[in-house]
Amino acid sequence: MDKMPAWADAVLVPLISILLAAALSALVILAIGENPVDAFRLMVDGALMRSAGWGYTLYYTTNFIFTGLCVAVAFHAKMFNIGGEGQAMIGGLGVALVCLFIPFPHWSVGLLVATLAAGAFGALWALIPAYLQAKRGSHIVITTIMFNFIASAVLNYVLVNVLRPQGAMDPATAKFPEATRLPTFQDIFATAENPLFRGSPANVTFFLAVLACVAFWFLMWRTKLGYEIRAFGHSESAARYAGISPVRITIVAMLISGGLAGMMALNTTMGEAERLVMNATEGAGFIGIAVALMGRSHPVGIFLAALLFGFLYQGGAELALWTNIPRELITVIQALVILFTGALDNMVRMPLERIFLATRRRNG
Amino acid sequence: MDFATLLQVLDSTVRLATPLLFACLAGLFSERSGVVDIGLEGKMLAAAFASAAVAAVTGSVWLGLLAGIVSATLMSAIHGLASITFRGNQLISGVAINFLASGLTVLIAQSWFGQGGRTPSLIGGGRFTPITLPFAEALSGVPVVGPIYAELISGHSILVYVAFLMVPLTWFVLYRTRFGLRLRAVGEAPEAVDTAGVSVIGLRYAAIAICGLLCGLAGAYLATGLQAGFVREMTAGRGYIALAALIFAKWRPWYALWACLLFGLLQAVALRYQNIDLGGIVIPVQVMDALPYILTVIILAGFVGKAIPPRASGEPYLKER
């Protein structure tokens, strides 16, 4: 046996990768003349030590769970969906349309319909790249990148020319009706004597995201479709011999992936802004790549990775507020995480494997 | 549209096509050797910042250019390390490089210049100035040909001419030299190149170095020629448009020129006119913005000729033992 134990593969490799990314990030902070220890303490203070900080952290976490799951579904089918950003933008359009034009009696009904709309719009935006990959062999990575730009142009057009209220200057829709307002954590948990989560945007969509994690696990490891997706991802030829249609799996996996990305828009559009704005996604679609890689495409890992990135995002905002370190530090950390857990995986894995084999030989 | 306006649009087409052309040829070298590069955007951005920053500090645009090339080549080296040496996923590595450049440029710009993630505006020797070709003044009186020569062909900065000269040069290197033959071979059948006793890894690193050099030129032109200084995210998707042009051109140098000019024209038109009225049908500006991407998807779908990438692109090479 020349393999590492499974726990080392699942826990040790990502952990070392994150430590490497953290060490390099600390060096970057040092290089721009700030103290990394102070910076870290400030981030923890701002993101985790107050309930309002948690409110923001969990708000970002919600976004990243959805986009992380989106990338992960595609990864299981051995596809790389860079289009989460565009799919989330179009998902937002779906949310905005139902919220603006259907008079909902209660937010719960609104959330249900909006979830369906967000998922359907996101899935539809992923359908064309999926079809082109499955039927015409055009590479999904390139087409999804192109579709991000096309989505941005579509959204720009719709917001400027169609959905912008008369007289308004900024490209955004009108405010959604009061009935579609989702309860925030403040509404749910705060009491008169204990005002928890004050002013923070975390809302019920967080529970939807957790539910999505469970559903993802069930789909991937407990259903026939999930088995087929994973089999297809492991070996396309073997899957084909087993009677699994590559066209069907490619399209279905991408539809699920796009749908999950679209649902992210529930949190930003319905939960936070309560109207559709131009840059609602804020790059969360791309952070999903880092989250899925770090979480090893497993829902538990994705939840933890999304939490970490939620913390980084909120902590980064605090840093930008109180120090001379701009928010872009988080982009650098994100890049390093993607680099180490995704592209330089072998650099971490190969020495580790050697160590494990050496100790085993000594013992055996 | 009168002749003078047409010339102006074409003139800005040439200038806007230049960074696309550099980046597109950069991608061509890399992908022809079998290394997929979606990190063109990041390399351009890094080079744009480095060249503007060094040009602003030293006042010399040539030192800036050098810094741009060095920084883009360093980014290439990371990509090479990940995708050639450690046989990682080239797409993921490219994504990482784009984010790395996007974050680091603003971070360093803020720390050095404190102007909200931009460099000071470049003045005097910090920029590439237009070159007036010989006889441009004298010939400008000649009808039709005169203005074309004086306004369209003359009066660009040196890097524009370098970019257009790179096209025949790339063609020559790829199709008329031994290095080019091996480069194309390593992108199609690396095992054959290896059997012939030529280093696959060496060739791919050479291709990636050329890619870095060209991305450096692209970024430097953006910050010191087209504009006067670096602003955050100034590449604005040009790396992806270059990638689209590369697919549009089916990985061939002369076609790359035409693809980049076409996409440059689209940008020039979108910049000049907000909405275009075609006899009653108004084309919104967003259509012009999205057109390069839509065209690329159509080409990729194989409805207008099939775009087939080099066979071994995206696959790390593992020597048999």
Question: How much is the ipTM here?
Answer: 0.89
What token pair was written down for A171?
A: 């490209």
Please judge whether B110 and A326 are an interchain contact, meaning their C-beta atoms are less than 8 angstroms apart. Answer: yes
Burial readout B250-288 (b: 16 or more C-beta within 10 A, e: otherwise)? ebbbebbbebbbbbbbbbbbbeeeeeeeeeeeeebbbbb
Nearest to B104 among A332, A342, A345 (CB): A332
Do residues B258 and B249 make contact, with C-beta atoms less than 8 angstroms apart?
A: yes
> Which B residues in the span 182-221 are in contact with A, Cβ-Cβ below 8 Å?
none
> Which residue in chain B has the smallest CA separation from A161?
B284
Please judge whether A328 and B107 are an interchain contact, meaning their C-beta atoms are less than 8 angstroms apart. Answer: yes
Structure confidence by residue, pLDDT tens digits, A285-323? 889 998 998 888 999 999 999 999 999 999 988 888 888
Please judge whether B293 and A150 are an interchain contact, meaning their C-beta atoms are less than 8 angstroms apart. Answer: yes
Give the CATH fold of the A64-187+206-328 domain: ABC transporter involved in vitamin B12 uptake, BtuC (1.10.3470)
CB atoms within 10 A of CB B138: 11
Size of interface A-B (CB pairs under 8 A): 155
Q: What percent of chain A has pLDDT over 70?
A: 99
H, E, C per residue of chain A? CCCCCHHHHHHHHHHHHHHHHHHHHHHHHHHCCCCHHHHHHHHHHHHHCCHHHHHHHHHHHHHHHHHHHHHHHHHHCCCCCCCHHHHHHHHHHHHHHHHHHCCCCCHHHHHHHHHHHHHHHHHHHHHHHHHHHHHHCCCHHHHHHHHHHHHHHHHHHHHHHHCCCCCCCCCECCCCCHHHCCCEHHHHHCCCCCCCCCCCCCECHHHHHHHHHHHHHHHHHHCHHHHHHHHHHHCHHHHHHCCCCHHHHHHHHHHHHHHHHHHHHHHHHHHHHCCCECCCCCCHHHHHHHHHHHCCCCHHHHHHHHHHHHHHHHHHHHHHHHCCCCCHHHHHHHHHHHHHHHHCHHHHHHHHHHHHHHHHHHHC
Contacts of A286 in chain B (CB under 8 A): 95, 99
The pLDDT score that the predictor gives to residue B266 is: 86
Please judge whether A136 and B92 are an interchain contact, meaning their C-beta atoms are less than 8 angstroms apart. Answer: no
The pLDDT score that the predictor gives to residue A364 is: 64
The pLDDT score that the predictor gives to residue B304 is: 63
The pLDDT score that the predictor gives to residue B321 is: 65
> Which residue in chain B has the smallest CA separation from A329?
B103
The pLDDT score that the predictor gives to residue B305 is: 64
Burial class (CB in 10 A: 0-12, 13-18, 19+), A131: middle
Q: Distance (Å, rounded) from C-alpha A344 to C-alpha A340?
A: 5
Q: Distance (Å, rounded) from C-alpha B79 to C-alpha A336?
A: 13
The pLDDT score that the predictor gives to residue A1 is: 46
Residue B282, beta-bridge partner list? B277
**Mean pLDDT by groups of 10 residues along chain B of 321 residues:** 83 93 96 92 95 92 95 95 89 92 92 85 83 78 78 86 95 95 93 91 95 96 91 89 88 94 88 73 82 84 73 80 65
Residue appearing with tokens 């992923």: A126
Please judge whether B297 and A346 are an interchain contact, meaning their C-beta atoms are less than 8 angstroms apart. Answer: no
The pLDDT score that the predictor gives to residue A273 is: 87
Q: Distance (Å, rounded) from C-alpha B147 to C-alpha B134?
A: 14
State the DSSP H helix or E strand holding residue B278, giving kind and residue range, or none if neither: strand B276-278
Please judge whether A344 and B81 are an interchain contact, meaning their C-beta atoms are less than 8 angstroms apart. Answer: yes
364 residues of chain A, pLDDT tens digit each: 457 787 877 788 888 888 999 999 999 989 888 888 998 999 998 888 888 899 999 999 999 999 999 999 999 999 999 999 999 999 999 999 999 999 989 999 999 999 999 999 999 999 999 999 998 878 888 899 999 999 999 999 999 888 888 888 888 898 998 888 888 888 888 888 888 888 889 999 999 999 999 999 999 999 999 999 999 999 989 999 999 999 999 999 999 999 999 999 999 999 888 899 888 888 888 899 989 988 889 999 999 999 999 999 999 888 888 888 888 888 998 899 889 988 888 888 888 888 888 888 887 6
| DSSP, residue by residue, B115-177 | SSS-PPPP-GGGSPPPBPPTTHHHHTTSTTHHHIIIIIISSB-HHHHHHHHHHHHHHHHHHHS
Contacts of A326 in chain B (CB under 8 A): 106-107, 110, 117
Do residues B266 and B77 make contact, with C-beta atoms less than 8 angstroms apart?
A: no
Please judge whether B297 and A143 are an interchain contact, meaning their C-beta atoms are less than 8 angstroms apart. Answer: yes
Contacts of B43 in chain A (CB under 8 A): none
Burial class (CB in 10 A: 0-12, 13-18, 19+), B29: buried
Please judge whether B83 and A343 are an interchain contact, meaning their C-beta atoms are less than 8 angstroms apart. Answer: yes
Contacts of B99 in chain A (CB under 8 A): 286, 331-332, 334-335, 338
Q: Distance (Å, rounded) from C-alpha B240 to C-alpha B177?
A: 29
Please judge whether B287 and A153 are an interchain contact, meaning their C-beta atoms are less than 8 angstroms apart. Answer: yes
Nearest to A138 among B100, B243, B301 (CB): B301
> Which residue in chain B has the smallest CA separation from A331?
B103
